[in-house]
Chain A
């Protein structure tokens, strides 16, 4: 089944550095979303990028989408301890708008 695959699985960086996570998917999509999950908590929606968009910004977040490569990246600039969390990409299921498929996530750890 179609699924986003995040890379790397885990990432540790120093506070203040930039963190980049990647997501690849298999079939054409209408939209791609990124979510954050703090340990033991539910998911929080971060950003949605449509298939006709190439880049989107929200605060310290920058998302890119390359539909030709079927990939997306999430960049967090000037990382903070509070950014420590798991980050998931999610894609719509083959053009359907009533179902999304999550990847396995990237576990980001910000070192003090």
Chain B
């Protein structure tokens, strides 16, 4: 059973471009969480999704950021018009049920905005 997969692992974007980060949860998992980690910091919750539903997006910046988890395919975190402050590692985690205690993390996508 493959673990949580994220791609790309590294992404470089110029200011103003769009960044698309993908997360494929573990097989059988229908709950996805996205986190952002700045250097020397812990993970900050961004959004919690189930298939075709956003359950909690209280950690998402109000502008430029969006997330989806379609019925088919990976979860996508989209950042429009990136700025230097968006440079960070973005991790997704998946779980099989509503409890958050069985989260399995992906390796992360490191976004660098130049």
Contacts and interface: CB of A to CB of B under 8 A. Distances in A.
B96 interface: no
A105 B42 contact: yes
A62 to B, nearest CB: 20
Given A97-B98, A97-B99, A99-B100, A104 B42 contact: yes
Nearest to B56: A99
Contacts of A44: 105
* Residue of A40, A42, A104 with highest tally of chain B CB at under 10 A: A42
Interface residues of A, number: 23
Contacts of B101: 31, 33, 48, 97, 100
Nearest to A96: B100
Interface in B29-60: 35, 40-45, 48, 55-56
A43 B45 contact: no
Given A41-B108, A42-B105, A43-B91, A88 B99 contact: no
Interface in A62-112: 88, 92, 96-105, 107
A102 B44 contact: yes
Contacts of A45: 103-104
B43 A88 contact: yes
A41 B107 contact: yes
Interface string A22-40: 0000000001010000001
* Residue of A3, A92, A100, A105 with highest tally of chain B CB at under 10 A: A100
B53 to A, nearest CB: 12
B25 interface: no
B56 A42 contact: no
Interface in B50-98: 55-56, 91, 93, 98
Interface of B: 4, 35, 40-45, 48, 55-56, 91, 93, 98-101, 103-108, 110
13 contacts: A40-B110, A42-B91, A43-B91, A43-B93, A43-B105, A92-B100, A96-B100, A98-B56, A98-B99, A99-B48, A103-B42, A104-B41, A104-B42
